[in-house]
Amino acid sequence: MEPKTLARDRSPQTKKKTPFVDKARPKLLSHPPRHLRESVRPDARRLAEARPTTIALAAVSSAHGSALVRLGDTAMLASIKLEVMSPSSEAPDEGSIAVEFHMPPICSPLVRPGRPAEVAPVISKNLEDILMSSGMLNLKELCLISGKASWLAYLDVYCLNADGSLLDAALISAVAAFTHLEIPLVSVGDDGRVFTVGGNEGKAKYELVNREKRKLTIANVPFSLTCALHKGNVLADPTAEEESIIETSVTIVLDSSDQIVSIQKPGGAVTSMTTIKECISLAKDGRRKLREILMDSVEAMEVDQTD
Domain ranges of the chain: 46-181+216-305
Q: Per-residue pLDDT for 200 more than 70?
A: no
| Residues 6 or more apart in contact with residue 261 via CB below 8 angstroms | 130, 133, 134, 222, 253, 254, 255
Please state, as a whole number, how many other Cβ atoms lie within 10 Å of the Cβ of residue 299.
10
Q: Per-residue pLDDT for 147 more than 90?
A: no
d(CA 134, CA 256): 9
Average pLDDT of the chain? 84
The per-residue pLDDT for 74 is 97
Region 114-131: what's the mean pLDDT? 92
**Quick one: 46-181+216-305 is in which CATH superfamily?**
GHMP Kinase, N-terminal domain (3.30.230.70)
- Global pTM value: 0.84
Highest mean pLDDT among 22-26, 42-46, 74-78, 115-119: 74-78
pLDDT tens per residue, range 77-117:
999 999 988 899 999 999 999 999 999 999 998 888 888 78
Region 48-75: what's the mean pLDDT? 96
| Residues 6 or more apart in contact with residue 14 via CB below 8 angstroms | none
Region 162-191: what's the mean pLDDT? 88
Q: Per-residue pLDDT for 139 more than 60?
A: yes
Q: What residue type is 201 in one-letter code? A: E
Read off the pLDDT band of 27 (50, 70, 90): very low
Q: Per-residue pLDDT for 304 more than 90?
A: no
* Residue 69 · residue 169 · CB < 8 Å: yes
